[in-house]
Amino acid sequence: MRKAFIIPILLTTVAACTKEKVTTPGLEVSTSSLTYKAGDTVTFNLRGNPDNITFYSGEPGHNYEFRDRTRAENDLLIDFTSLVQFGEIRQNLQLMISTDFTGVADSNAIKAATWTDLSDQVTFSSGADRTPSGTLNLKDYAVEGKLIYVAFRYTDYKKEKGQNRWVIRTFNAQNISPDSIVTPLATVATGGWQAVDFKNYSKKWVITTAQLLMESTDKNGDDNEDWIFAKGFDPFAIKPDEGTALKNISTVLSQHQHVYKKPGTYKVVFDVSSVRYNGEKRAQKEIILTITN
């Protein structure tokens, strides 16, 4: 008798589940004003209980319309600090870039690539430690579909005073979008550096997470040429804008507060969703706020 009752109940439950529809999530958003001063706390009053709410403030890096953006007309900026010492102090380190290098750590691959010497656009050490290079913008060299490779080329020759020692203390590469979003590309520690010897294989670039060091030699050192290059940089890459998750299906939210620090006009978006086993529906609620001084 027990089986006769259980089976119909199970069948009824399954049938009810299959008929469940995913409804469009509802949310009403209001504020006491549409104009605030920078530094004020803006309180968003929320009515409705969607499963999930994600908040996009409209500030740089938090724009709903850029949530899927991965390409932009960026400025690709690089800078570094350097030290030269020992031997004859002279300008024998070059900054080189290429857009057709294959990224293979091989002398033939380097020779086959087209390199542009940008040494005259940066400042190298003349003896002082941590000499700043200044910031160099590589946007003019950006070509869609091609990476930009940055390399340092060291050359020196056998002489009485010996050959000098170069150290790249710091290195930074980053993309900055037209709306000021910073996408880090590389540092000394994360640059994926590779060294290639052309001459005098006993002296070479030493790569650590702290610095890049080209060894010096005494007066008996043979002529030398050594390259070191970073991984290729995509000048158009950008991080998608992000929202702030405010609630999920297990929570209830009636208010959200946010502080805008800079004047401007901000398009605020609350992205809401209803999620079930058989589907998902989304909706967006927008408010335009003006922030003044």
- Model pLDDT for residues 76-98, shown as the tens digit of each residue: 999 999 999 997 788 899 999 99
Residue 169 has pLDDT above 90, yes or no: yes
Inter-residue contact 90 to 164 (CB < 8 Å):
yes
Question: CA 77 → CA 99, 118, 198, 233, distances in Å?
Answer: 16, 13, 29, 11
Residue with tokens 């060294």: 195
Asked if the model's pLDDT at residue 10 lies above 50, the reply is no
- Encode pLDDT of 177-220 as tens digits: 999 999 999 999 999 999 999 988 778 899 999 999 988 776 77
**Nearest to 29, CA basis, from 13, 47, 3, 50:** 47
CA angle centred on 104, ends 227 and 165, rounded to 5°: 15
CA–CA separation, 77 and 79 (whole Å): 7
Token pair recorded at residue 66: 């850029």
pLDDT confidence of residue 80: 99
User: How far apart are alpha carbons 1 and 136 in whole angstroms?
Assistant: 84
Per-residue pLDDT tens for 28-82? 999 999 999 999 999 999 999 899 999 999 999 999 999 999 999 999 999 999 9
The answer to whether residue 247 scores a pLDDT higher than 60 is yes
What number of CA atoms fall less than 13 Å from residue 95's CA on the CB side? 21
Q: What is the pLDDT of residue 20?
A: 62
Neighbours of 87 (CB within 10 A): 20
- Would you say 176 and 72 are in contact if contact means Cβ atoms under 8 Å apart? no
Whether the Cβ atoms of residue 178 and residue 139 lie closer than 8 Å to each other: no
Q: How many CB atoms lie within 10 A of CB 70?
A: 12
List of residues 6+ apart from 292 with CB closer than 8 A: 35, 36, 37, 38, 263
* Position 5 pLDDT exceeds 60: no
On whether the CB atoms of residues 146 and 233 are closer than 8 A, the answer is: no
CA distance linking residue 149 with residue 101, whole number of Å:
7
Q: What is the pLDDT of residue 201?
A: 77
